[in-house]
Amino acid sequence: MAAYTLAAREKTAGDTIICIPSRMGQVKIGTGHCTVIAGSCAVESREQYLPLAEKLKAMGVHILRGGAFKPRSSPYSFQGLGEEGLRILAETRELTGMPVVTEIMDPRDLDKVYNCSDLLQIGSRNMQNFSLLKEVGQIDKPVILKRGLAATIEEWLLAGEYILAAGNQQVILCERGIRTFESMTRNTVDIGAVALVKQISHLPVIVDPSHATGLRSLVIPVARAAIAAGADGLMVEVHLQPDQALSDGPQSLSPEMMESLLKDIRDPRGRVS
Amino acid sequence: MAAYTLAAREKTAGDTIICIPSRMGQVKIGTGHCTVIAGSCAVESREQYLPLAEKLKAMGVHILRGGAFKPRSSPYSFQGLGEEGLRILAETRELTGMPVVTEIMDPRDLDKVYNCSDLLQIGSRNMQNFSLLKEVGQIDKPVILKRGLAATIEEWLLAGEYILAAGNQQVILCERGIRTFESMTRNTVDIGAVALVKQISHLPVIVDPSHATGLRSLVIPVARAAIAAGADGLMVEVHLQPDQALSDGPQSLSPEMMESLLKDIRDPRGRVS
Amino acid sequence: MAAYTLAAREKTAGDTIICIPSRMGQVKIGTGHCTVIAGSCAVESREQYLPLAEKLKAMGVHILRGGAFKPRSSPYSFQGLGEEGLRILAETRELTGMPVVTEIMDPRDLDKVYNCSDLLQIGSRNMQNFSLLKEVGQIDKPVILKRGLAATIEEWLLAGEYILAAGNQQVILCERGIRTFESMTRNTVDIGAVALVKQISHLPVIVDPSHATGLRSLVIPVARAAIAAGADGLMVEVHLQPDQALSDGPQSLSPEMMESLLKDIRDPRGRVS
Amino acid sequence: MAAYTLAAREKTAGDTIICIPSRMGQVKIGTGHCTVIAGSCAVESREQYLPLAEKLKAMGVHILRGGAFKPRSSPYSFQGLGEEGLRILAETRELTGMPVVTEIMDPRDLDKVYNCSDLLQIGSRNMQNFSLLKEVGQIDKPVILKRGLAATIEEWLLAGEYILAAGNQQVILCERGIRTFESMTRNTVDIGAVALVKQISHLPVIVDPSHATGLRSLVIPVARAAIAAGADGLMVEVHLQPDQALSDGPQSLSPEMMESLLKDIRDPRGRVS
């Protein structure tokens, strides 16, 4: 297999730092920063999403997340609000001034998603959707690339290489747990991979402790571990009423838990500011 | 997770038998038949593919396979001939009268791929590319749905359910090996899954012993095992000069080995005719 | 890691065929034979085990299995009858004339187990219990070495090498499923490993379709697949009343199913005689 | 499967804190402490081990580790010094006053190992060696129980339950990485399991970042992550000359790296004292 070269550490003088402009000032992702992305799994409605966004903004979260197009194992599960979800995201961005990230699942949605968000997310199921990778490789906004459930570190970097090779240098890798035999947790977060990728690549690496565990009670300890291992940030699911979430409720934090997590990682070294 | 219902055994009176018309007569896939699909991993050129097709036709292979769009881990690996590959496939179909199957990776390629092939293949990396599944759910040609590398049986059936729910009842499931810790073989073929899916679903199930093992020497024994476990057919990589194949050479059979495999599964019960 | 050499194919002129003397004649295990080992998971009582043994003898099963010492995940589960179980096995051997195999878990039990059985089994949890391997390497009876749940093929052969290097050349490898993310089946039988080990080693390889699947309905198709892939035999759990078995009931065959399995693998090539 | 009850959180008023007496004062393992165990993989010689022990003592390491009986995949690899190794351990304990831990592989070695060490270790390959578990369940010294390579959290706790049920309440669980498809690291450390077990059990949980990663460069970040996730301590491989280690050299820290790790986890909250 031809190796990754653009993603490799030796190819750049230093680490890649990604800058996202926003009315609230520039948000940076990369070595030396600890960037927090939070929001509900899906954008469920204007009434659900806007108050959540305001709350997260007040806490000091840097970037909002919210899914408009949701990849669901079953065709009978809630599939997201689609374009209506994008509109709510755009309005939220306008009202709060915060940058937003949302998932793109289909290359034909590129323009719409591009217009409503500041970063684009490629989900774990699409990590090797090469058509989609080539497409987001041609835009000028950052892409968060989640690791596939059974993707090796090499394949993950090579998926990033597809985007880099197509011209987009703003790639953020996101470890979100791999699939193992363990069934008490939804996935097994590969904390060693986070440390290893920081060593062999110059790209920023963040961790999604929500999907990695599937259990609310594990999100905070795993988030702490991620930062301790060298992750450049977190992507966390939060819901004002986790028990009523249309998707991923069991792994969503309440705002109180989110606040506690933020306090926890704002350690004496002041990585979160 | 909402369950599969259209793919479940109880939903139909009997097993689904898929009929593919061809100049050589109807090819059937499903319980009671043993259908053999063979060809090279990629369509490499007219000179490479046509003679191979003639040879496979002479052996009694039922359907030709050949990739025009190739999903490759690295952006620097051979990506397939694209539309030129589709043209060669169409010409081969015309010349030999055999049905052909090729992979579709991007919903925007649907018309082109539809016009040049008799069956469409969804590769393992795209098993949960839900946009693509919904798209092929709206056509009137059979779809071979490969199991994802880390997909559970339930997720595989639910991916099939996306296609069925969109209106296309011609779904063929293909087990091609899952990813485990074992590294001597490329993947681990889940033979128990073949038997189990035949029990819980009415859909045809075939096995790809080439990707499942990654080693030429294992293709024949695993193909025999697949048929013994109840698989309805095989999908096998064959190349006139395996050592010069542009992709998947180490797992490609020579024509002589393919002939031996066919003889091997034409057992006294005469399942291959 | 130092490689296996005694277990490697090149080290012997031909395949190892193991001969087990019995009052009913010699039982052979190895290439060219298809040897069937059957019995209940545990020896539960004289009344349970003797009638089962008589029934299996009448069917043509070659070797009886029955556990006296049972490795159980929980200390609160039935742990086997221990020495009383060994006595029942010895009596059954005496009455039926059939060879018996039972598991050894502790090197301190070697003499007792040796005296009551014709073959010794090392269970998957003890595949790398090196003290035990060295101990059974010093006896003159065959050893069935089950593959560990997460053991690579290389580690499995190296575990066999421990026995061979200690002087016992009568090693039979048994594939019984590895642990993967799939949860509908108890384990995932690695059929490719069976074919591969037959190619790289001269040792006999058998398959345990009962533990490999955990589901009665899958035992027969997986057993058929094992033979088709080149396995030299089967080890199957059978119980006169599977639903009342003290352990492994859901994967135990009824005698009728066992009879059907035997008929099934006595194919036109007459591998089972 | 009968559940663990003695290992479950609800069974005790608070968390289990294990106290190990030593000439240097009592060493505690459990919630609220951060205990560091370090030493070479194997005790290689008096000349190799004693100077290392002195160095680790000077750094503030709490407990020494060193293998006398080494479980090795190959019978041709260095198997440890055996009883000579135990003698060196005993002498080191005498000279330094530090508690020592070493692995027991065979129930017949219990007296010898008991006499030379303060804690006994059950290795991952023996996690379900139930004879051994029952044996160490009858002693009055703490037991470190490593998680098996493919053991679920439930099986790990049930293995601990074997020891508890036999009467020994001093059980320390050690996460050391599970086996997954990822091959760039030796194993995948399950950091979520550490957090989860701390929630569902009262037993101390430590992490072995050396075996968990197999790579020296990952030991420190993974150790930091372990502590951040709530682990009660670490077990780390250190060698004065890692490149000349008879086993596990690539994952062994130099003394300088060990010192840096200690400094790193002696964070402002002063968990290591």
Q: Write out pLDDT tens, residues B188-211.
A: 999 999 999 999 999 999 999 999
Cβ partners under 8 Å of residue C169, min gap 6 = C16
A183/C179 CB distance under 8 A: no
Q: Which chains contact D through at least 3 pairs of Cβ atoms less than 8 Å apart?
A: A, B, C
Considering only CB atoms, which residues of chain A are within 8 Å of chain B? 1-4, 71-77, 105-108, 125-126, 128-131, 148-150, 154-155, 158-159, 161-162, 165-166, 179
Backbone φ and ψ for A83, nearest 5 degrees, come out as -60, -35
pLDDT at residue D61, as a whole number: 97
D85 vs C253: CA distance, rounded Å: 50
> Which tokens sit at A67?
């899914």
Q: Residue D188, Cα to own-chain centre: how many angstroms?
A: 17
pLDDT at residue B232, as a whole number: 98
| Closest CB to A229 among D180, D194, D221 | D221
**Closest to B160 in 3D by CA, of A128, A132, C184, A75:** A75
SS3 category, B8: strand
C181/B230 CB distance under 8 A: no
C interface test, pick of D104, D108, D131 with most C CB neighbours within 10 Å: D131
A162/B72 CB distance under 8 A: no
Let me know if D236 is exposed, middle or buried by CB neighbors in 10 A (0-12, 13-18, 19+): buried
A225/D226 CB distance under 8 A: yes
Q: Which amino acid is at B65?
A: R
C75/D165 CB distance under 8 A: yes
Number of domains in chain D: 1
C189 vs B142: CA distance, rounded Å: 30
Contacts of B195 in chain C (CB under 8 A): 217-218, 221-222, 225
Do residues D230 and A221 make contact, with C-beta atoms less than 8 angstroms apart? yes
pLDDT at residue A273, as a whole number: 40
Do residues A114 and A86 make contact, with C-beta atoms less than 8 angstroms apart? no
Do residues A190 and A178 make contact, with C-beta atoms less than 8 angstroms apart? yes
Position with higher pLDDT, B249 vs B151:
B151
Give the residue ranges of DSSP H helices in C20-126.
Answer: 46-59, 83-96, 110-116
Do residues A34 and A271 make contact, with C-beta atoms less than 8 angstroms apart? yes
A221/D195 CB distance under 8 A: yes
The β-bridge relationship of strands B100-103 and B119-122 is parallel
Q: Is residue D67 part of a domain?
A: yes
A interface test, pick of D191, D198, D267 with most A CB neighbours within 10 Å: D191
D107 vs D120: CA distance, rounded Å: 12
| CA dist list (Å): C120 to C69, D21, D22, D154, D159 | 12, 43, 44, 29, 24
As a residue count, chain B comes to: 273
A65 vs B200: CA distance, rounded Å: 39
B241 vs D173: CA distance, rounded Å: 55
pLDDT at residue A162, as a whole number: 98
- The torsion region of residue C154 among left (phi > 0), alpha (psi -120 to 50) and beta comes to alpha
**What's the rounded mean pLDDT across residues B91-118?**
97
Q: Any idea which residue has 């010898």 for tokens?
A: D112
Q: Is residue A269 part of a domain?
A: no
pLDDT at residue D267, as a whole number: 61
pLDDT at residue C46, as a whole number: 97
Minimal Cα distance from B186: which residue of D? D181
| CA dist list (Å): A187 to A181, B151, D174 | 9, 13, 20
pLDDT at residue D188, as a whole number: 97
C32 vs D182: CA distance, rounded Å: 38
D134 vs C21: CA distance, rounded Å: 36
Domain that holds residue A210: 9-264
The overall average pLDDT reported for chain A is 95
D228/A224 CB distance under 8 A: yes
Considering only CB atoms, which residues of chain D are within 8 Å of chain C? 1-4, 71-77, 105-108, 125-126, 128-131, 148-150, 154-155, 158-159, 161-162, 165-166, 178-179
The β-bridge relationship of strands C63-65 and C100-103 is parallel
**Closest to B168 in 3D by CA, of B134, B206, B121:** B134
pLDDT at residue D243, as a whole number: 92
Cβ partners under 8 Å of residue A100, min gap 6 = A39, A63, A64, A65, A66, A89, A92, A93, A116, A117, A118, A119
Q: Is residue A236 part of a domain?
A: yes
* Residue A107 binned pLDDT confidence (cut-offs 50, 70, 90): very high
**Strand ranges in chain C using DSSP code E only, listed in sequence order:** 18-20, 27-29, 35-39, 63-65, 100-103, 119-122, 143-146, 171-175, 205-207, 233-237
> Which tokens sit at B272?
């291959």
B271 vs B34: CA distance, rounded Å: 6
Cβ partners under 8 Å of residue D209, min gap 6 = D189, D218, D219, D220, D222, D223, D226, D234, D236
pLDDT reading at B273 higher than 70: no
Give A174's strand partners. Answer: A146, A206
D164-211 pLDDT, tens digit per residue, is 999 999 999 999 999 999 999 999 999 999 999 999 999 999 999 999
B222/C192 CB distance under 8 A: yes
Let me know if D9 is exposed, middle or buried by CB neighbors in 10 A (0-12, 13-18, 19+): middle
* Residue A266 binned pLDDT confidence (cut-offs 50, 70, 90): confident
pTM recorded for the entire structure: 0.96
pLDDT along chain C (273 residues), means of 10: 86 88 94 97 97 98 97 95 98 97 97 98 98 98 98 98 98 98 96 98 98 96 97 98 92 97 74 44
D179/B181 CB distance under 8 A: yes
| Closest CB to B2 among A71, A77, A148 | A77
SS3 category, A16: coil
Backbone φ and ψ for D175, nearest 5 degrees, come out as -80, 130
> Hey, what's the torsion of the CAs at C233, C235, C238, C242, to 10 degrees?
-130
pLDDT at residue B266, as a whole number: 84
pLDDT at residue C267, as a whole number: 61
| Closest CB to B75 among A72, A131, A162 | A162
Q: Is residue D18 part of a domain?
A: yes
What is the widest separation between alpha-carbon atoms in chain D?
49
| Closest CB to C184 among B153, B183, B221 | B153
3-state secondary structure D182-220: CCCCCCECEHHHHHHHHHHECCCEEECHHHHHCCHHHHH
D222/A191 CB distance under 8 A: yes
B242 vs C69: CA distance, rounded Å: 51
Q: Which amino acid is at C222?
A: V
Q: Which chains contact B through at least 3 pairs of Cβ atoms less than 8 Å apart?
A: A, C, D
A interface test, pick of C179, C181, C182, C186 with most A CB neighbours within 10 Å: C181
D4 vs D152: CA distance, rounded Å: 13
C241 vs C40: CA distance, rounded Å: 10
Q: Tell me what ipTM this predicted complex has.
A: 0.94
D201-247 pLDDT, tens digit per residue, is 999 999 999 999 999 999 999 999 999 999 999 999 999 999 999 99
pLDDT at residue D24, as a whole number: 84
| CA dist list (Å): D82 to D70, D211, D244 | 8, 21, 20
A192/D222 CB distance under 8 A: yes
Do residues B51 and B91 make contact, with C-beta atoms less than 8 angstroms apart? no
Contacts of A76 in chain B (CB under 8 A): 2, 161, 165
B126 vs A126: CA distance, rounded Å: 7
Let me know if B61 is exposed, middle or buried by CB neighbors in 10 A (0-12, 13-18, 19+): buried
Considering only CB atoms, which residues of chain C are within 8 Å of chain A? 179-181, 183
C2/D77 CB distance under 8 A: yes
Contacts of C150 in chain B (CB under 8 A): 181
Task: Determine the distance in angstroms separating the CA of B237 from the nearest CA of chain A, rounded to an integer.
Answer: 19
A252: CATH: 3.20.20.70
A26-62 pLDDT, tens digit per residue, is 999 999 999 999 999 999 999 999 999 999 999 999 9
How many Cβ atoms are within 10 Å of A170's Cβ, its own excluded? 22
B3-40 pLDDT, tens digit per residue, is 999 999 986 679 999 999 999 899 999 999 999 999 99
Contacts of C74 in chain D (CB under 8 A): 1-4, 158, 161
* Residue D10 binned pLDDT confidence (cut-offs 50, 70, 90): confident
Q: Is residue B98 part of a domain?
A: yes
pLDDT at residue B272, as a whole number: 47
| Closest CB to A73 among B106, B155, B165 | B155
B87 vs A156: CA distance, rounded Å: 33
pLDDT at residue D37, as a whole number: 98
Q: Is residue B61 part of a domain?
A: yes
Say how many Å lie between the first and final Cα of chain D, rounded: 42
Say how many Å lie between the first and final Cα of chain B, rounded: 42
